[in-house]
Amino acid sequence: MPTLIDYRRRIRSVKSTQQITRAMKFVAAAKLRRSQEGVFAARPYAREILRVLRSAAARMESTAHPLLERRPEERILLVVLTGDRSLCGAFNANVIRRATTFLRENSSKKAQILAIGKKGRSALKRGPWEFAGEYVNVSGNVDFLIAKEIAGKIAELYATREVDAVYAVYNEFKNVMIQRLRTQKLLPIDPTVLESGSPEATGMPATSSPVNEDAMPHDLSPSGKSLVDYIYEEPVSDIFNGLVPRYLEAEVFRTLLESSAAEWAARMTAMDSATRNAGELIDKVTLEMNKIRQAGITKELIEIVSGAASATS
């Protein structure tokens, strides 16, 4: 039978845990805001790169580029984006589960893994798969130079015919409550992306934007005009060949940002519910404690009353 002291101790311990989870929630909220801003800030660049790429593509006779070349998929590369830390609900577990299912479904092909984030790396290292590389400590503060490095790495693997297709598994940031798991093909680049008639403004295949594009400040796209006769300082093919990797970099960067925003959102939600659960636990234990306290008082009263009664009789 626990005594009052035990209950008090228990409440104190839960309270301090609650303080920690609450602090983590606020940290996550602040980080989330920053990475969300990053997602929005990256959009104009990606859109403009794509626009210039399209206009260059429209002026070329054949848009042949190593990164656009389609080959039968025999060897694939899977880029797995997780966080570096846990305490974010099912965020990492979902990605890892999706990645393993994907690899099983494609077990006829030779697969390699590029792990981004410690959690995915250590989970998948236990499996039988081959690693093409790993990048950790990325999601805390997504830097474009890291995206460039990763894009360079996968472009190289693709261009040297190490792999025939590159897929990415990541969480897409829909809103604070919802992260959507996505498997996206990064390479070869879908040739329809290059067609200037493509309607969507960002050109990212099936990107569902967390906020509507109209809310974006600094809309750069000159409306209506699709074909301007540019002077190209270098041959147009050089510009085009230079732009294709830039496009891939922008895509990888976006994926990293999305994943990072989704991670912070997941962490915030997880810490919020942890804080709430701690509150409920405190209420429950307090109630129990009061019951015991009252039982003690009642017992003492009975003793006094019965003592007095026996003295008078």
Partner 1 sequence: MASENIELQVVTPARHVLQETVQSVEIPGKEGYLGVLPGHAPLITELGIGIMAYRKGAETRYLTVINGYAEVLPDRVIVLAELSERAEEIDIARTREAQERAQAALAKISSGDPDWQHASFALARAMVRLQAASKVGAAAGAHS
Q: Which residues are catalytic?
A: 88
Residue type, 25: K
* CA–CA gap between residue 296 and residue 50 (Å, rounded): 75
User: Of 275, 221, 223, 232, which Cα lies nearest the Cα of 18?
Assistant: 275
Q: Which is nearer to partner 1, 47 or 119 (CB)?
A: 47
- Which range in 62-70, 182-190, 203-211, 224-232 contacts partner 1 by CB under 8 A? 224-232
Q: Counting contacts by CB under 8 A, is residue 243 touching partner 1?
A: yes
* CA–CA gap between residue 97 and residue 87 (Å, rounded): 17
Residue type, 259: S
Q: Counting contacts by CB under 8 A, is residue 61 touching partner 1?
A: no
* CA–CA gap between residue 138 and residue 84 (Å, rounded): 8
Q: What is the DSSP string of 125-178?
A: HTSSPEEEEEE-S-TTS--HHHHHHHHHHHHHHHHTTS-SEEEEEEEEE-SSS-
Site for partner 1 in 189-218 (CB under 8 A): 217-218
Site for partner 1 in 131-150 (CB under 8 A): 143-144, 147-148
Site for partner 1 in 16-45 (CB under 8 A): 38, 41-42, 44-45
Member of 97, 109, 246, 276 binding partner 1 (CB under 8 A)? 246
**Smallest distance, Å, CB 115 to partner 1?**
20
Distances in Å between the alpha carbon of 250 and those of 63, 95, 148, 264? 19, 22, 8, 21
Binding mask 283-312 for partner 1 (x = CB under 8 A): ------------------------------
Q: Counting contacts by CB under 8 A, is residue 242 touching partner 1?
A: yes
Question: Given the rule CB under 8 A, which residues bind partner 1?
Answer: 38, 41-42, 44-46, 48-49, 52, 55-56, 143-144, 147-148, 217-218, 220, 222, 228-234, 238-239, 242-243, 246, 249-250, 253
